[in-house]
Chains A and B, each alone.
Chain A
Amino acid sequence: MKKLGELFAERVFLLSALASSSVTIAILVFMVFMGFPMMREGGFYQLLLKPWEPYQGSFGIYPMILGTGAISLLSLVFAFPLSLGCSFLITTIAPKPVRRGFLRVIELMTGIPTVIYGFVGIFLLVPIIRELFQRGSGMCVLTASLVLGIMITPTMTLFFCDSFDRIPRTYLDAADALGASHTQKLLYVILPSARKGMLSGVILALGRAVGDTLVSLMLAGNSVRVPESVLEPARTLTAHIALVIAADYESPEFRSIFACGVVLYLFTMAVTFLVRYVGFAEDRNY
């Protein structure tokens, strides 16, 4: 009897796993299907390299691809050291009560809606950036990636904390016995053994940064030109979709946003595979 129940549960789980993974694939198929006419007419390649000038009949998404790349990678640059410091503090340095307090605060931060970050960014950070650099409007790549960086830090920190906690106690004890300092412990014991868990944290955070719409829509300025510096406005793929989705269904503008979807999808997929591959290769070396 128990066997039968187990078999049943197994099947149910298998089905739900199949369903969720097929939805992921179905989304890609749908986007390619909807964007296909556009990609065939202009060539997918051209779509990727041309500027966005709807009145001149050019629906390229090149500036948006660059915008997304610049903003999300820069936000990682801000978030990574911050998360590393936070998680090291929480797991190793700080005394227990402080540790728990910090962890609660960070958990709370993951739950703050992105619109709040965007709102605070507009009223606090934008004027500061504008006056600090005495250039532009303050709505720029830098502002958006700073706020995004703060937004993805909690997610990353929680992942880092998890992977630090999973390091065998004996490793740390051995390091302590050898008289290692905090820095040495972090560099030679914790980082090498927690690398894989940290990678997942970074992927997930990058996914959040690439996929976020509101923060970049509110803070990056959304101009369609390729930004020449981090102090210039830019538009991300997600913000572009949000801005163009109101266009007529039959228009080429509308169809081109499916290409944006495909690019976003492939971008996240490529990053995931790349990072997994790196992780794999390392495993084999050990």
Chain B
Amino acid sequence: MKRFSLLQLLLMVFVLLAAYSPAFSGSLDPFKNEKGVLKISGGTAHIPVMKEAAQKIMVVNPEIQISIAGGGSGVGIKQVGEGLVEIGNSGRKPTDEEIKRYQLKLYQWAIDGVATVVNPKNTVKKLTKIQVIDIFSGKIDNWKMLGGVDRKINIYTRDETSGTREVFWEKGLDKGAIAPSAHVVVSNGAMKTAISQDPYGIGYVSVGHIDKTVVPVALDGVVPTIETVRKGDYKIARGLFSNTKGDPVGLTKKFIDFLSTPDGRKIIEKQGFIPVR
């Protein structure tokens, strides 16, 4: 009998604690009485943040189903415009024409950098902007010319609808040409896999995606990290956008709002981006 009451006491303590303590439930409260399906697609840089936010929400309320697909910024804008998904992500600001045609509402929730990356085995860890432009245009085509091994440089780029590509091309290459012999991969994740597999490769990924498998190259002496992007020292930066067709309502609105709550910002920061607002 005594043991039973002890258990009861413990249970009561837990209930009390649960009622008062959790810092996390605050931001997730709006999802308590929701249910339904939320479809997200587009920018591949966004995926880690989207995934973690979705996980948190679905744990609190299993009635909500959130699906996250990639495809790239072009796909995100197109699919949300066609009404195929509720949120279309893009790693670039949608053009005025796209905004007008699809009546898009933009929501920028983070700042991200785009870093030139090489394989960890590569000895070349510093480049000037001119060198990067020459590498991607094919003018410099051997690592030896940069003080590395005597092997051809394998260039990796993204498909034409990628927001990451657009930002890198505009701000990193000053709209210079990318050699037609460049390999083309379809997502930030695929880029990371390709570079981590190829000791002679060079490519570019979202700063948030950089981990042990690839090494960011210092550009004109500035190493692209979350810090240098925040300070503005590293110039190849862009906003991460979530777009909706018309004003967001219901679950869509709640999801987007969640990204700017303290917990949402914590997720964004943890994934290597700089939260805005």
Contacts and interface: CB of A to CB of B under 8 A. Distances in A.
B105 interface: no
Interface stretch (B193-201, B212-220, B247-255, B259-267): B193-201
Contacts, number: 67
Given A130-B198, A137-B200, A137-B201, A221 B183 contact: yes
A137 B119 CA distance: 12
B186 interface: yes
Interface stretch (A11-19, A79-87, A106-114, A240-248): A240-248
A247 B193 contact: no
Contact of B183 (A127, A137, A247): A137
A246 B181 contact: no
A138 to B, nearest CB: 7
A232 interface: yes
B78 A224 contact: no
Contacts of A53: 180
Given A246-B71, A246-B74, A246-B159, A138 B183 contact: no
B161 interface: yes
Given A137-B198, A248-B74, A223 B159 contact: no
Contact of A247 (B160, B179, B200): B160
A122 interface: yes
A52 B180 CA distance: 9
Nearest to A233: B183
A225 interface: yes
B185 interface: yes
Bin the interface of chain B by size.
Answer: 20 to 34
A249 B179 CA distance: 26
Nearest to A127: B197
A139 interface: yes
B121 interface: no
A136 B154 contact: yes
A134 B74 CA distance: 36
Interface in B54-88: 71-72, 74-75, 78
B246 to A, nearest CB: 19
B182 interface: yes
A235 interface: yes
Contacts of B159: 243-244, 246
B127 interface: no
A281 B30 CA distance: 73
B78 A221 contact: no
Nearest to A228: B181
Contacts of B184: 221-224, 235, 243
A74 to B, nearest CB: 19
Which residue, of A134, A135, A136, A249, has the highest number of chain B Cβ atoms within 10 A? A136
A66 to B, nearest CB: 13
A253 B161 CA distance: 10
Contact of A246 (B151, B161, B185, B193): B161
Contacts of B72: 246
Contacts of B181: 223, 225, 232-233
A279 interface: no
A243 B186 contact: yes
Interface of B: 71-72, 74-75, 78, 98, 151-152, 154, 159-161, 179-186, 193-194, 197-198, 200-201
Given A130-B198, A224-B180, 16 more contacts: A53-B180, A122-B197, A126-B197, A136-B152, A136-B154, A139-B183, A139-B194, A217-B186, A221-B183, A222-B185, A223-B184, A233-B183, A243-B184, A244-B161, A246-B75, A246-B161
The 5 A-B residue pairs with the shortest CB-CB distance, nearest first, are A222-B184, A137-B154, A246-B74, A246-B161, A225-B180
25 contacts: A54-B160, A122-B193, A122-B197, A130-B198, A134-B151, A135-B152, A139-B194, A217-B186, A222-B185, A223-B180, A223-B183, A225-B179, A225-B181, A233-B181, A235-B184, A242-B186, A243-B186, A244-B159, A244-B160, A244-B161, A246-B71, A246-B74, A246-B75, A248-B78, A249-B78
